[in-house]
Structure 1
Amino acid sequence: MRLTVLGGGGFRLPLVYSALLGDRAEGRVTDVVLHDVDADRLTAIARVLADQAEGVPDAPTVSVTTDLDEALRGADFVFSAIRVGGLAGRADDERIALAEGVLGQETVGAGGIAYGLRTVPVAREIARRVARGAPDAWVINFTNPAGLVTEAMSRELGDRVIGICDSPVGLGRRVARVLGVDPDRAWFDYAGLNHLGWLRGVRIDGRDELPRLLGDPGLLGSFEEGKLFGAPWLQSLGAIPNEYLHYYYFNREAVRAYREADQTRGAFLQEQQARFYTRMASSPAGAWEQWDRTRAEREATYMAHNREAAGAGDRDADDLESGGYEQVALALMRAIAHHQRTSLILNVRNRGALDAVDGDAVVEVPCFVDANGAHPVAVAPLPEDATGLVRAVKAAEREVLAAAESGSAARAVKAFAIHPLVDSVTVARRLLKGYAAVHPGLAYLR
């Protein structure tokens, strides 16, 4: 089976390859093609993968190319993990938003909209190229903002594009650990949009264990989300929010922490990864060890500003475990390629699963997966407060899609202005002006 990775020079790619190395099942991925527009990053990551594969019998072969059509040729699956504008673009997204007093995180608020505006045109063109060059391939989208980009690609590929994210997986596993239940046996009642969802139940043999957690402040305060949100707020919600909802529920505190920090998350990652890729170019020996040290530092500092704003302290060792998006991707590929029916939380077209939005909207819900793709499971309605947030954010996403399709700067301004985390039309106009000044990828907006 042939897997093509777009954005194959990306830093997190070794996580995916690690999962592939551990897969010994019949019909596994045997050929991996890495595509990127940056040949130097491709070379660096290929060295890390070569180190990983050393001593592993029948490791999947790895080839690299900067030619998109060549990369897509013969692909059974395509992972889209691109970053339009690179980490420098992310740092600019954060800086410009914070200067206006609003959040600049890469998937949430003004930063997410800016990132979406320059990514959607590229993602749709990739989807068209996949449809022409690999019409039988399934696209698994990692590219952020994952829900928005998946919806954009679905307009070209229909249900043959599926978005994945490790946040719901990590949340479910953390909650299961605290409850002392096996996460592989649990059914997680989770619903919303990407980075805007709520865990509302953890069912084992038909029994919901989540009320036991919500009724125990000590247990609630013992894991990442409990420390971020606080036990009283989780009890008020009657659910455990995705960690990204901290940006909504504690927006003032998050913005203040970001503005007071020495550098934003994007600026930190830009510097960190620049050092890594520079070292790899000059001293490639021990590529895997160099990558792993850098990854550990990256994970330890994840959402550090939010934890600081919440007074949550450093991340616990148990919370540093990856949410397992690479395992989600592997399980998804197995289910489709070999009809191994499974259930996963995925980003897919709604088709009536969540009543808050229309059928074509991409939502993040539990799905059954088989050879015919991912089938969303109907979930109970969200409460009114959550429904309001989902509809407001989806409306902003739809304006991003409309702006990208029409090239309308007015629609782009509207996308910023109607988002719940942007509080002024005047600010929305200044945001677009600021982003257009630094992002060549927004020159299409008129």
Structure 2
Amino acid sequence: MKKQNLVVVGSGSTYTIGMIMSLIEEKKHFPLRTITFYDTNAERQEKVAKATEVILKDKYPELESFTYTTDKKEAFTGADFAFVQIRTGGLAMREKDEQISLRHGAVGQETCGPGGMAYGLRSIGDMIDVVNDVRKYAPDAWILNYTNPAAIVAEALRREFPDDEKILNICDMPAAIMVSYAKILGKEIWDLVPEYFGLNHFGWFTDIYDKEGNRLTDDIKRAIKDDGFLPEDAEIVNDPSWIKTFKQVETMLTDFPDYLPNTYLQYYLYPSQMVEKEDVKNTRARQVINGREKRVHELCDQLISDGTSENAELEVDIHGCYMIRVAASLAYNTGDTFIVIVENNGIISNLQDDAMVEVPAALTSGGPKPFAVGEIPTFEKGLIEGQLAFEKLVVDAWYEKDYKKLLQALTLNRTVVDAPRARKILDDLIEENKDYWPELSSK
């Protein structure tokens, strides 16, 4: 089995330590020769990198090389895989996005509604630059992108790189949900075979089977209604916000019992309720800054100070494991099934072909081979078409620098709906994002 050369782009992320632990956990499936960190923020990257050195010394001694750099050529030359997890503007801009939305009575969330639009407009240009940089120095590398908001980023990359067959956009949220299904069933996530359709953060599980072909969907629904639903992934299991989010699945399943919903649908189906439970002074971004970010940085400081991982509480999370299993299937042509984001092209037969849809696919060395979904029902189709129009208008606006299309996008979005409110939110977001967004045409 060939050992791979991996570069992690955006390695200063608070998710990177979990990714490293996942690489260690999964090394028999995805063995590495080298790991390289690349980030434009040298200070943030250095803390995570020095902690990573300690972990790798203890737990991955067979790794030939670990380096970190802010130099593109050094980072990407010779790479087989690039895992991309950038956050343009950082958590500080995320907090502003959320606060602006909430001040106007709209959902304040990272990837949904106005926050998703703002983050998407910040991400597109940097993601295009990353792909161009990787392709300059590693023309044959797989680029696995899980930069949010994945739907908007995937649509932009589809337009910018229509012939690049080695870019794959993925999200770990379906996997995080499946971890909880597996707990209910007394199984491992890798034992489950999902049927799923939608857009990123906007989809439904139609069925869950085991590898022997037994249908488990009704058992999951019954357990959720009778016993509740909780997060089980190590990264979110004790997070109060995520606990509330998973609990909301019970409500969604009661109101719309046909399919098992992605947790993010709560923002679109119950936007008023989502606004009411949020605090503009303590948004989700602020909770992450005071919670996960603080915890990870303290962990890094401990690892660096101790010079050993022996006393550190290190967790393997599904975020990393899912990405690594995807990479392994691509690298070694195993054809395993994962939920990924691909161009529709008839997969959902009553949805436009150029939609970037999230569906199960067999992953081979030739890329994803998605499974046909067929026609979807009117209710789900209607919701998807509205969200898809929002996403496409946002990308249109980035390319065309068009204020009007952003106003149309926000007015369409189920978290906003009201045109005057959409305009107020948009104008405030423009002011806060003037260092990141393209300069838009006049109103």
TM-score by length of 1: 0.86
1:359 to 353, 358, 368: 353
* Runs of 4+ deviating beyond 6 Å: 287-293
In the TM superposition, what whole-angstrom CA distance separates every residue of 1:17-71 from its partner, at most 9, and x where no partner exists?
Answer: 1122234448722211111111111111112211211323213632111123432
Q: What pairs with 1:274-293 in structure 2 (closer than 5 Å)?
A: 277=297, 284-286=304-306
Question: Does the 8 Å CA contact 2:30/2:327 hold for their aligned counterparts?
Answer: no
2:217 to 188, 199, 210: 210
Give 1:149 deviation, angstroms. Answer: 1.0
Which amino acid is the alignment partner of residue 263 of structure 1?
N
Which amino acid is the alignment partner of residue 33 of structure 1?
T
Which amino acid is the alignment partner of residue 92 of structure 1?
K
Question: Does the 8 Å CA contact 2:7/2:37 hold for their aligned counterparts?
Answer: yes
Name the residue aligned to 1:227.
247
Q: Which one scores higher on RCO, CA 8 angstroms, separation ≥ 6?
A: 2
Name the residue aligned to 1:267.
286
Which amino acid is the alignment partner of residue 344 of structure 1?
F
Name the residue aligned to 1:445.
440
Separation in structure 1 between the aligned mates of residue 42 and residue 311 of structure 2, nearest angstrom: 18
Question: Does the 8 Å CA contact 1:188/1:202 hold for their aligned counterparts?
Answer: yes
Name the residue aligned to 1:51.
54
Separation in structure 2 between the aligned mates of residue 444 and residue 383 of structure 1, nearest angstrom: 40
Question: Does the 8 Å CA contact 1:107/1:144 hold for their aligned counterparts?
Answer: yes
Which amino acid is the alignment partner of residue 338 of structure 1?
Y
Structure 1 unaligned spans of 5+: 297-320
Match of 1:75, SS state, is coil
1:412 to 402, 406, 409: 406
Question: Does the 8 Å CA contact 2:26/2:321 hold for their aligned counterparts?
Answer: no
Q: What pairs with 1:1-16 in structure 2 (closer than 5 Å)?
A: 1-16=4-19
Match of 2:190, SS state, is coil
Residues 33 and 166 of structure 1, relative CA distance in 2, 3 Å threshold: same
In the TM superposition, what whole-angstrom CA distance separates every residue of 1:263-316 from its partner, at most 9, and x where no partner exists?
Answer: 0010222344368648957994148879976x98xxxxxxxxxxxxxxxxxxxx
Residues 252 and 95 of structure 1, relative CA distance in 2, 3 Å threshold: same
Question: Does the 8 Å CA contact 2:253/2:259 hold for their aligned counterparts?
Answer: no
Which amino acid is the alignment partner of residue 335 of structure 1?
S
**More off after superposition, 206-215 vs 283-292:** 283-292
Name the residue aligned to 1:399.
393
Structure 2 unaligned spans of 5+: 232-244
Separation in structure 2 between the aligned mates of residue 19 and residue 257 of structure 1, nearest angstrom: 34
Instruction: Please report the RMSD computed on the Cα atoms of aligned residues, expressed in angstroms.
Output: 2.8
Question: Does the 8 Å CA contact 1:159/1:348 hold for their aligned counterparts?
Answer: no
Residues 19 and 280 of structure 1, relative CA distance in 2, 3 Å threshold: closer
Give 1:333 deviation, angstroms. Answer: 1.6
Determine whether 1:255 maps to 2:275. yes
Residues 118 and 235 of structure 1, relative CA distance in 2, 3 Å threshold: closer
Match of 1:285, SS state, is helix
Match of 1:153, SS state, is helix
Separation in structure 1 between the aligned mates of residue 415 and residue 361 of structure 2, nearest angstrom: 30
Question: Does the 8 Å CA contact 1:15/1:326 hold for their aligned counterparts?
Answer: yes
TM-score by length of 2: 0.86
Match of 1:411, SS state, is helix
Which amino acid is the alignment partner of residue 240 of structure 1?
L
Separation in structure 1 between the aligned mates of residue 406 and residue 298 of structure 2, nearest angstrom: 36
Which amino acid is the alignment partner of residue 249 of structure 2?
F
Match of 1:366, SS state, is strand
Give 1:237 deviation, angstroms. Answer: 2.5
